[in-house]
Amino acid sequence: MPYWYYDKKDLQNTPSYREGIPNDTENRYRKEGARFIIDTGSKMDLGYNTVATGVVYFHRFYMFHSFRTFPRYITACCCLFLAGKVEETPKKCKDIIKVAKSLLTEQKFGTFGDDPKEEVMTLERILLQTIKFDLQVEHPYGYLLKYVKCLKGDKAKLQKMVQMAWTFVNDSLCTTLCLQWEPEVIAVALMFLAGKLSKFEVVDWNGRQPKHNAWWDMFVEDITMELLEDICHQVITELIGATRIGKIVSKINVGRSQCIKWIAL
Amino acid sequence: MSASSSSQAATTVTSVNDVSALFQNEKKYEELNIIGTGAYGTVYKARDLHNSGQIVAMKKVRVPLTEDGMPLSTVREIALLRQLEAHRHPNIVRLLDVCHGGQAMDREQLVLYLVFEHVEQDLDSYLSRAPGPLSQARIRCMSYDILSGIDFLHSHRIVHRDLKPHNLLVTSAGRVKVADFGLAKTYDTEMKLTSVVVTLWYRPPEVLLGVSYNTAVDVWSCACVLAQLHSRRALLPGAADTDQLHRIFRLIGRPPREQWPENVSVMIDSFPDYEPQDLADVIPGITPLALDLIKGMLVFEPSKRLTAMDCLEHPYFTEEPLM
Ligand SMILES: Nc1ncnc2c1ncn2[C@@H]1O[C@H](COP(=O)(O)OP(=O)(O)OP(=O)(O)O)[C@@H](O)[C@H]1O
C-alpha cells in the first residue's frame, strides 16, 4: 500500500525543486492550485469533502511531478474532476473547464492548450497512475466532529471552537500539512489552536482516564506539544499570507497581541 | 520537453499529451505466463521488478473510456477496493497495486492492471488434487475462512456475485482467500469475452430468474461451495439456465406459489412440483451441524437465507467438534 506522508526534507527536495523551482515558489504554486480548487469547487457547489480530496490529490501529484512539466491550474482542474467522481459528486469535465476559464486570466488559462478537455482526459490517466489509484482520502473534518462530541463544557463555546477549527482545516489545505500528518493529528492540532484563540480550555471530556493529560490523548497517541505548535504555526503562517488574520482577530474577539503571541508560538 | 526559456510555470505551454508518453515506459511488472482467462479478463503470473522480483498475480481488465474519461463506476469500485485493503483481512486476497497500461490506440479503452499477491492454487485445483476426502477439521476451517471473507465484503456493502471455487484461493498453509470481487459494475460495462462460458453452478435462483439481488446471492454460492468441500464434487452442476433451476428445485423443492417472484418471464408451472430432497443423501457422511448450516443457506427466498454473519455464529463453528 502506498504511504503518503513525508518529512520536511522530502518536502524540500521535490521534483519541482530538482528542476530548479525554489521551495518558496513551489509553495506559492501549491497554494494557488489549492485555492483554485477551493474556489472552483465552491462555485460549482461541490461539498467540502470533494474539494479537500481534490486538494490532497494535487499535493500528492507534485511529490512525483514538477510544476514545470505540469502547469498547476490544469492539474488542479483534473484533481477536482477526479475527486468529484470518487466522492460521488461528479461534474462534467467541460463544466469544470468553463468555471476554470471564468476564474483565470487569459494567460493562465492558456496553459490548458488548444483542447482543454482532451488535456484533462489525458491528465486524468497520469493522475490516477501517480496517486496509484489510492482514491479514497480521509480528511480532518470528520474527526473534528467526532472529537467535539466527547468534549464537555459550554455548548455555545464548543460550537464556536469547532467552527473555527473547521475554517482552519480549510486553510490548512493550502499548506502541505496533508503530506505531513494524518487527518486525525491535524484535527487535534487545529482544534487545539481554535481552543486557544477562542480562550476555551477543555478541562473535561467523556471517557477520560487517569493516564490522559489532555483530551487528545484519548484519540491519538504520542502527540507532543512541539508537534501541535508546529502544525498550528504552519496554518497561522498561511493565514497571515492570506491576510485573514485580521478577520479572525475581529471575529473571535481576542486581542491582536494575543494572536501575535500565538503566531510567534 | 520542459521549457527552458522561462522559469514561470504559467508560461510553460507543454501539451499534457506530449509528456504523458514519458510516464508509460517505466516497466514495473514482467509478465511470465497466463494463469487463467475468465469472462472479464486474463490473470497473469508476473514478476514485480521494483520489488526484488516478487511473484504476483496480475489481472488485466479492459475499461471502456467514456466521454468523461474513466467511468464513474470503475473509479468508485477501485477506490473501494483500495480502501478495503487497509483492513488487510486475512481471507481476502491482497491487492498490491493498481495501474494502467497507458492510453489505448483507439482512445476508447484503457487496460487496467490489478496486481494481487500470488496464491499457489485455487480451490478448484486444490479439491481435484486432494488425494482423498478432506478431514472434517479442514472442511470446517475452510468453510469458516470463506464465510469470514464474504462477511467482510458484505459489511462493506460489496456483493461478490460470482463466488465459486475458481475465485477462492488456497494458500500453502491451507487458508482460503476470496478473490475477484468488487468490479461488478466495471465488468457490466465491458464486452464479455464470448468464448468463455460462465459457470452457473453456484448461481442462486434469483439470479437465474433475473430478479434483483443482494448479499444473499453470495450465501447461496457459499453453500454450494461448502457442500463441495464435503463431497469434492459440484452440488448443482447445471448445463444451462433452465437445467440449473431444475436441479435447484429438485434439491430444495419447488417453492410455493406465493414465493415465486413477480415479473419474471419463467413460469413456476414450467417446473414439476418437485419435493425437497434430503441433503444428507446428497452429501454422504456430512455431520448434522454442517448439514443444518448448509440447509439454512440453501433457501429459495433470499430474505429467509442465513446471512454470512449468521453462518459464522452457527453451532457448526461455535460448538466443540464432535469428530
Ligand atoms: N491472486 C491470485 N493468485 C493466483 N491465481 C489467481 C489469483 N487470482 C486469480 N487467480 C486465478 O486466475 C484464474 C482466472 O481468474 P479470473 O478471476 O480472471 O477468472 P475466473 O474467476 O475464472 O472467471 P471470471 O472472471 O468470470 O470470474 C483463476 O483460475 C484464478 O484461480
What ipTM goes with this model? Answer: 0.83
Taking only the tens of pLDDT, chain B with its 323 residues reads 333 333 333 334 345 555 554 445 467 899 999 998 877 788 999 999 988 999 999 999 888 888 999 999 999 999 999 999 999 999 999 999 999 887 655 668 888 999 999 999 999 999 999 999 999 999 999 999 999 999 999 999 999 999 999 999 999 999 999 999 888 777 766 555 545 566 899 999 999 998 888 999 999 999 999 999 999 999 999 999 899 999 999 999 999 999 999 989 999 999 999 999 999 999 988 999 999 999 999 999 999 999 999 999 999 999 866 44
> Whose CA is closest to A67, among A16, A103, A110?
A16
pLDDT digits (tens, 9 = 90+) for B125-147: 999 999 999 999 999 999 999 99
Nearest to B232 by CA among B121, B131, B119, B150: B131
Domain region containing B70 = 25-117
Indicate the number of domains in chain B: 2
| Final residue belonging to a domain, choices B91, B117, B143 | B117
Chain A residues in contact with B15 by the CB 8 A cut-off are 113, 119
Q: Answer yes or no: do B235 and B193 share one domain.
A: yes
Same domain, B152 and B291: yes
**Beta pairing, strands B109-117 & B95-103:** antiparallel
Taking CB atoms and an 8 Å cutoff, what residues of chain A touch B104?
none
Pair B92, B132 in one domain: no
**Rounded to 5 degrees, what are φ and ψ at B177?**
-130, 135
Residues 207-246 on A with a CB inside 8 Å of B are none
Count of other CB atoms within 10 angstroms of residue B146: 26
Last residue of a domain, one of B89, B117, B145: B117
Last residue of some domain: B117, B133, B154? B117
**DSSP secondary-structure letter at A257?**
H
Compute, in angstroms, the gap from residue B38 CA to the centroid of ligand 1: 7
The reply to whether B113 and B127 lie within a common domain is: no
Q: Residue B259 is part of a domain; what is its CATH number?
A: 1.10.510.10
User: Which residue of A lies nearest to B78 if distances are taken between CA atoms?
Assistant: A133
CB B14 within 8 A of CB A69: yes
What CATH homologous superfamily does A140-263 map to? Answer: Cyclin-like (1.10.472.10)
Kindly list the domain boundaries of chain A, sorted by start residue: 8-130, 140-263
Equal CATH topology for A8-130 and A140-263: yes
Are B18 and B1 in contact, with CB atoms under 8 Å apart? Answer: yes
Q: Answer yes or no: is B19 within a domain.
A: no
- How many Å lie between the centroid of ligand 1 and the Cα of residue B300? 28
B162 noted as active-site residue: yes
Grid coordinates 493529560 are at which residue?
A213
CATH of the domain at B106: 3.30.200.20
Given the residues B48, B151, B162, B180, the one annotated as active site: B162
The CATH homologous superfamily of the domain defined by A8-130: Cyclin-like (1.10.472.10)
DSSP symbols for B36-76: EE-SS-EEEEEEETTTTTEEEEEEEEEEE-BTTBS-HHHHH
Ligand 1 neighbourhood includes B222 CB (under 6 angstroms): no
Query: Do B73 and B161 belong together in one domain?
Result: no
B59 marked ligand binding residue: yes
- The answer to whether residue B183 is domain-embedded is yes
Query: What residues of chain A lie within 8 A of the CB of B19, using their CB?
Result: 69-70, 126
Which of A6-10, A38-42, A208-212 shows the lowest mean pLDDT across its residues? A208-212
Distance from CA of B38 to the nearest CA of A (A): 23
- Best mutation site among B122, B126, B203, B218 for ligand 1, i.e. most ligand atoms within 8 A of its Cβ? B122
CA distance B14 to A44: 28
Q: Are residues B113 and B125 in the same domain?
A: no
- Alpha-carbon distance of A39 to A31, in angstroms, equals 12
SS3 content of chain B, % helix, strand, coil (to 5): 40, 15, 45
B1 belongs to a structural domain: no
Q: Taking the model in full, what pTM does it have?
A: 0.86
What are B225-282's pLDDT values in tens digits? Answer: 999 999 999 999 999 989 999 999 999 999 999 999 998 999 999 999 999 999 999 9
Q: Do the domain assignments include residue B16?
A: no
